């Protein structure tokens, strides 16, 4: 699979690493936010969106794709 293929967080190869860039696949107000991962564990993926906000995604629940490996 290429870097731009959609990955679900429940798939082992789709789990991002610190520094990876991801895009949320569920649009918010018509846009798919992008951000950078700064922590990953078994419970959550913590990231900083490009607009400066921080958020925690849940593996197996939130859908995203890795757009660039860090």
Angle, alpha carbons 39-29-24 (nearest 5°): 30
Number of domains in the chain: 1
Tokens 């895009």 label which residue? 23
Is 39 part of a structural domain of the chain? yes
Is 41 part of a structural domain of the chain? yes
Residues 21-70: pLDDT tens digits? 999 998 778 889 999 999 999 899 999 999 999 999 998 899 999 999 98
Say what the pTM is: 0.75
Is 13 part of a structural domain of the chain? yes
Is 30 part of a structural domain of the chain? yes
Is 2 part of a structural domain of the chain? no
We report the CATH number of the domain holding residue 19 as 2.30.30.520
Is 1 part of a structural domain of the chain? no
Residue range of the domain that includes 23: 7-68
């Amino acid at each position: 699979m290429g870097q731009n293929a959609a990955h679900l967080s429940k798939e082992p190869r789709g789990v991002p690493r610190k520094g990876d860039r991801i895009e949320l696949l569920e649009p918010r107000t018509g846009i798919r936010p992008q951000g950078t991962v700064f922590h990953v564990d078994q419970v959550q993926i913590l990231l900083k969106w490009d607009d400066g906000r921080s958020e925690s995604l849940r593996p197996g629940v939130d859908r995203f794709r890795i757009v660039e490996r860090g």
